[in-house]
């Protein structure tokens, strides 16, 4: 299978990796050059590969906060590296989704788990971009959540005292008009 | 009076830390805990444990009545408050003593004198200790604040009068931000300390945070320990600390230690405490605040001086006296250098948002000069109710360079899965030229973090190739997992818990196909 590995600094590597089984060695190809790969260990915590005679152990780590990222986070001795792997088919599908419809309704979600402390808006309120909507307290820090666009508050889904999870929906805003950006 | 049973009214790593000394001294340890901590390491290691109440701190660790009741029920004759929670609450210290128990900490008067940051600044200024420029009274409203800002100047720091530990602090750089900052600072102060009172202080840019560990016997006797540098901070929360301060000259050190000595003598301070200063890198050493408790970074001092500060706290609580008058007599010598990194359950990639989850793959480092203070173990559930500290990794060396090398190895070796951690920050710092030269200050980390390459360095070509291969293998496993998810029955429940790598492995073993 031919894949492209994308790094955050823009670097790309074309990877051709035959099926790997535990303790098996294969001849892979990276950017057309042959690479000898042995799979030494593979479990829910980590993967250990020997690549051209050198050992590497990577731990897969995806934090449970923030929007989901198509690039996977790998830790090498606790240094983080994000790598997004895609096949040709993925690239075709991605282009199809990019031209989807815009509903005009915007969901404001919590970035982190915590407790709702103050709610400043109610349905019907007009808001501008950056208008404070509510505050979430987590780890004893109070964080202000602000509107991302101008619009009208459609629905407020939480109230003070509610415990919220990461990515939980908090407020629905109906945008004034469909915008071409996102 | 000899203490026999100590009730530890705290949780996490500090509860474990305190009970270790209590038990090493041959005393009985009781841990008072919340429902969420019922299966914690501290509870497992203590001689006895008492459930205080539900997870929220207000119903457990902040409930004076429940803690005193727990002490009575378990026959404790002393209470150790740890840090945070009620450790610096005058009402708690008073209630403990009024109930005939020994408070392993300062007197209620000490706490009152230093706990109100406005009053502390005032009394120390009177004692001739130089303080950071600011306004001597609480800020009543936004109009007053605007006037103060005009006089004291920007940047300005809004701080909770009843606060401490870097909480309830807001930096304001311009007039336009004052109103929102004032509002948030008051709200945070109210929630964290039960008192919304704010005061304003000039923000000294480029200064180092330097603090002195002290022990007082309550009669003016004092012991001073080598200073700690805690300049590596993010939003006023310390992340990496070291001792001694690599940039302090002998004259400044003497002024620092003498200011600390006078503070303890004047206030007849009892117990362990830390006096924090800002050092401007030249001649200026300014009093910031005094924390009337044991601090998170106390292990640095213990490693440097071979002292057990919890043992010192207990000895003082039992009435030990500290003779000696001048600086020479009361300064404790340290040897070598030490650094500590705080591993927090926070996602450095997403604004250090706190993470929750079940820990797995926990492996703690060790070796010469390495100490790890933690309550973490595989299977532990991290909840949003408390702070995000998972572990403290401390490294000591005969000099700073050796301590740095050891800390680097320990931070590469440690593993904690299941939540994001701040470990990438440690490795980035331990690789940074300025940090390695000891040239840092309080804004250093935040300015470094503005550059994504700091936390996410480009991989070497060799590492990039290995990453690409691991990612390809991972990708294949994840795709297979999706395909099989829709065709397998609920019996694949165990399979769903496997990582895509392991999923691929299973499929291969079962003769599957990609």
Pick B502's closest partner by Cβ from A42, A80, A111: A42
Tell me the residue length of chain A.
182
* Chain B residues whose beta carbon lies within 8 Å of the beta carbon of residue A28: 469
Answer whether the bond into residue A177 is a cis peptide, omega within 30°. no
CA distance A128 to chain B (A): 16
Alpha-carbon distance of B512 to B514, in angstroms, equals 7
Contact present, B482 and B472 (Cβ < 8 Å): no
Backbone dihedral angles phi then psi of residue B265, each to the nearest 5 degrees: -65, -45
Contact B514 A138 (CB under 8 A): no
Q: Choose, out of A43, A140, A144, A163, the residue to mutate when testing the contact with B (most B CBs < 10 Å).
A: A140
Alpha-carbon distance of B375 to A40, in angstroms, equals 31
Contact B465 A113 (CB under 8 A): no
Pick B417's closest partner by Cβ from A3, A45, A141: A45
pLDDT band (50, 70, 90) for residue A103:
low
| C-alpha pair distances (Å), B479 with each of A95, A148, A151, B126, B482 | 19, 34, 39, 70, 5
Name the CA dihedral angle for A90, A91, A92, A97, rounded to a multiple of 10 degrees: 90
- Closest-CA residue in chain A for B465? A30
Contact present, A143 and A136 (Cβ < 8 Å): yes
Mean per-residue pLDDT, A81-99:
77
- Closest-CA residue in chain B for A19? B514
The per-residue pLDDT for B309 is: 98
* Chain B residues whose beta carbon lies within 8 Å of the beta carbon of residue A72: 471, 474-475
Backbone Cα Rg of chain B: 24
The per-residue pLDDT for B304 is: 98
Helices (H), B107-200: 108-115, 117-126, 142-152, 175-193
Contact B469 A46 (CB under 8 A): no
Q: Give the long-range contacts of residues B463-466, CB within 8 A, separation 24 or more.
A: B463/A56, B463/A76, B463/A81, B464/A7, B464/A11, B464/A13, B465/A13, B465/A30, B465/A35, B465/A51, B466/A49, B466/A51, B466/A54, B466/A56, B466/A58
The per-residue pLDDT for B385 is: 94
Q: Nearest to residue B276, comparing CAs of B167, B158, B131? A: B131
The per-residue pLDDT for A119 is: 92
Q: How many CB atoms lie under 10 A from the CB of residue A95?
A: 9
Q: How many CB atoms lie under 10 A from the CB of residue B402?
A: 16
The per-residue pLDDT for A62 is: 61
The per-residue pLDDT for A64 is: 38
The per-residue pLDDT for B514 is: 38
CA distance B306 to chain A (A): 30
- Closest-CA residue in chain A for B495? A44
Beta bridge partners of A132: A146
Pick B360's closest partner by Cβ from A21, A45, A139: A45
The per-residue pLDDT for A96 is: 65
Contact B504 A42 (CB under 8 A): yes
Q: What letter would DSSP give residue B58?
A: G
Contact present, B212 and B227 (Cβ < 8 Å): yes
The per-residue pLDDT for A66 is: 36
Q: Nearest to residue A134, comparing CAs of A163, A168, A126, A143? A: A143
The per-residue pLDDT for B117 is: 85
Q: Which residues of chain B have pLDDT under 50?
A: 486, 489-496, 512-514
Pick A66's closest partner by Cβ from B347, B388, B508: B347
Contact present, A63 and A76 (Cβ < 8 Å): no
Tokens of B352: 């250090």
CB pairs under 8 A between A and B: 209
CA distance B106 to chain A (A): 25
Contact A47 B354 (CB under 8 A): no
The residue that leads in pLDDT, A100 or B444, is B444
Q: Nearest to residue A60, comparing CAs of B322, B498, B487? A: B498
Residues 6+ positions from B147 with CB-CB distance below 8 Å: none
The residue that leads in pLDDT, A10 or B366, is B366
Tokens of B399: 């000099």
The per-residue pLDDT for A139 is: 64
pLDDT tops 50 at residue A146: yes
- Closest-CA residue in chain A for B511? A21
Tokens of B232: 């590596």
The per-residue pLDDT for B41 is: 98
pLDDT tops 50 at residue A48: yes
Tokens of B246: 């690599």
Tokens of B12: 């996490």
Contact present, B270 and B217 (Cβ < 8 Å): yes
Backbone dihedral angles phi then psi of residue A177, each to the nearest 5 degrees: -150, 155
The per-residue pLDDT for A181 is: 46
Alpha-carbon distance of B446 to B111, in angstroms, equals 32
Q: What letter would DSSP give residue A68?
A: -
Q: How does the average pLDDT of chain A come out, rounded? A: 82
The three-state secondary structure class of B164 is strand
Residues 6+ positions from B278 with CB-CB distance below 8 Å: B132, B204, B207, B208, B209, B210, B284, B285, B286, B288, B442
Residue that the structure tokens 């073993």 belong to? B509
- Closest-CA residue in chain A for B191? A140
* Chain A residues whose beta carbon lies within 8 Å of the beta carbon of residue B354: 65, 112-114, 138-139
| C-alpha pair distances (Å), B138 with each of B30, B91, B133, B144, B266 | 40, 21, 14, 10, 24
Alpha-carbon distance of A88 to A74, in angstroms, equals 23
Q: Nearest to residue B309, comparing CAs of B201, B208, B187, B225? A: B225
Global pTM reads: 0.82
The per-residue pLDDT for A52 is: 96
Tell me the residue length of chain B.
514
Contact A139 B474 (CB under 8 A): no
DSSP line for A90-125: HHHHHHHHHT----SEEEEE-SS-EEEEEE---TT-
Contact A42 B235 (CB under 8 A): no
Contact present, B169 and B153 (Cβ < 8 Å): no
Q: Is B324 left (phi over 0), alpha (psi -120 to 50) or beta?
A: left
Q: What letter would DSSP give residue A22?
A: T
CA distance B305 to chain A (A): 30
Contact A65 B415 (CB under 8 A): no
Q: What letter would DSSP give residue B77?
A: S
Residues B346-371 as b or e (16 or more Cβ within 10 Å = b): bbbbbebbbbbbebbebebbeeebbb
The per-residue pLDDT for B512 is: 47
Residues A147-156 as b or e (16 or more Cβ within 10 Å = b): bbbbbebbeb
Contact present, B422 and B231 (Cβ < 8 Å): no
Residues B146-166 as b or e (16 or more Cβ within 10 Å = b): eebbeebeeebbbbbbbbbbe
Contact B462 A54 (CB under 8 A): yes
Tokens of B32: 């008072």
Name the CA dihedral angle for B447, B450, B452, B453, rounded to a multiple of 10 degrees: -30
Name the residues of B annotated as catalytic: 293
Q: What is the 3-state secondary structure (H, E, C) of B285-321?
A: EEEEEEECCCCCCHHHHHHHHCCCHHHHHHHHHCCCC
Strands B381-382 and B353-354: unpaired
């Amino acid at each position: 299978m031919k894949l492209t590995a994308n790094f955050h600094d823009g670097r790309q590597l074309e990877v051709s990796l035959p099926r790997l089984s535990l303790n098996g060695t294969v001849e892979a190809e990276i950017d057309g050059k042959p690479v000898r790969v042995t799979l030494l260990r593979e479990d829910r915590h980590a993967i250990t590969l020997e690549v051209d005679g050198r050992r590497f152990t990577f731990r897969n780590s995806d934090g449970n906060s923030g929007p989901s990222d198509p690039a996977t986070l790998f830790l090498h001795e606790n240094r983080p590296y994000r790598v997004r792997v895609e096949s040709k088919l993925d690239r075709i599908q991605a282009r199809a989704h990019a031209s989807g419809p815009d509903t005009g309704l915007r969901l404001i979600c919590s970035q982190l788990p915590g407790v709702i402390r103050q709610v400043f808006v109610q349905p019907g309120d007009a808001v501008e971009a950056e208008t404070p909507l509510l505050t979430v307290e987590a780890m004893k820090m109070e964080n202000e959540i602000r509107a991302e666009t101008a619009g009208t508050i459609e629905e407020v889904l939480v109230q003070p005292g509610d415990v919220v999870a990461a990515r939980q929906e908090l407020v629905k805003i109906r945008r004034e008009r469909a915008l071409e950006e996102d | 009076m000899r203490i026999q049973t100590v009730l530890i009214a705290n949780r996490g790593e500090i509860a474990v830390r305190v009970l270790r000394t209590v038990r090493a001294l041959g005393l009985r340890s009781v841990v008072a805990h919340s429902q969420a901590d019922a299966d914690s390491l501290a509870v497992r290691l203590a001689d006895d444990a008492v459930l205080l109440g539900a997870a929220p701190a207000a119903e457990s660790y902040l409930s004076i009545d429940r803690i005193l009741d727990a002490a009575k029920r378990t026959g404790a004759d002393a209470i150790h408050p740890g840090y945070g929670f009620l450790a610096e609450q005058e009402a708690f210290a008073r209630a403990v003593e009024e109930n005939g128990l020994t408070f392993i900490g300062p007197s209620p008067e000490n706490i009152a004198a230093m706990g109100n940051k406005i009053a502390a600044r005032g009394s120390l200024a009177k004692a001739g200790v130089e303080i950071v420029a600011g306004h001597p009274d609480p800020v009543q409203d936004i109009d007053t604040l605007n006037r103060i800002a005009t006089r004291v100047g920007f940047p300005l720091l809004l701080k909770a009068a009843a606060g401490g530990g870097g909480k309830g602090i807001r930096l304001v750089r311009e007039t336009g931000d004052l109103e929102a900052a004032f509002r948030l600072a008051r709200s945070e102060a109210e929630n964290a300390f039960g008192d919304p009172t704010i005061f304003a202080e000039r923000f000294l840019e480029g200064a180092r945070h330097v603090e002195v560990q002290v022990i007082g016997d309550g009669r003016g006797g004092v012991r001073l320990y080598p200073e700690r540098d805690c300049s590596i901070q993010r939003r006023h929360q310390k992340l990496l600390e070291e001792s001694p301060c690599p940039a302090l000259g002998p004259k400044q050190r003497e002024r620092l230690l003498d200011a600390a000595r006078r503070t303890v003598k004047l206030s007849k301070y009892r117990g362990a405490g830390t006096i924090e200063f800002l050092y401007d890198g030249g001649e200026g050493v300014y009093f910031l605040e005094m924390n009337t408790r044991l601090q998170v970074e106390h292990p640095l001092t213990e490693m440097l001086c071979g002292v057990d500060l919890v043992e010192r706290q207990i000895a003082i609580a039992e009435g030990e006296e500290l003779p000696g008058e001048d600086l020479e007599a009361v300064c404790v010598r340290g040897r070598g250098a030490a650094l500590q990194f705080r591993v927090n359950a926070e996602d450095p990639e997403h604004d250090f948002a706190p993470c929750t989850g079940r820990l797995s793959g926990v492996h703690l480092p060790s070796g010469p000069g390495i100490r790890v203070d933690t309550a973490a173990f595989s299977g532990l559930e991290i909840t949003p109710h408390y702070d995000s500290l998972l572990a403290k990794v401390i490294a000591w060396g005969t000099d700073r360079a050796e301590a740095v090398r050891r800390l680097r190895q320990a931070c590469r070796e440690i593993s904690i899965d299941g939540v994001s951690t701040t470990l990438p920050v440690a490795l980035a710092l331990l690789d940074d030229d300025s940090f390695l030269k000891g040239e840092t200050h309080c804004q250093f980390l935040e300015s470094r973090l503005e550059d994504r390459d700091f936390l996410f360095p480009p991989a070497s070509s060799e590492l990039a190739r290995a990453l690409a291969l691991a990612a390809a293998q991972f990708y294949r496993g994840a795709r297979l997992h999706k395909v099989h998810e829709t065709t397998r029955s609920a019996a694949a429940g165990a399979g769903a818990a496997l990582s895509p790598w392991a999923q691929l492995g299973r499929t291969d073993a079962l003769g599957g196909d990609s």
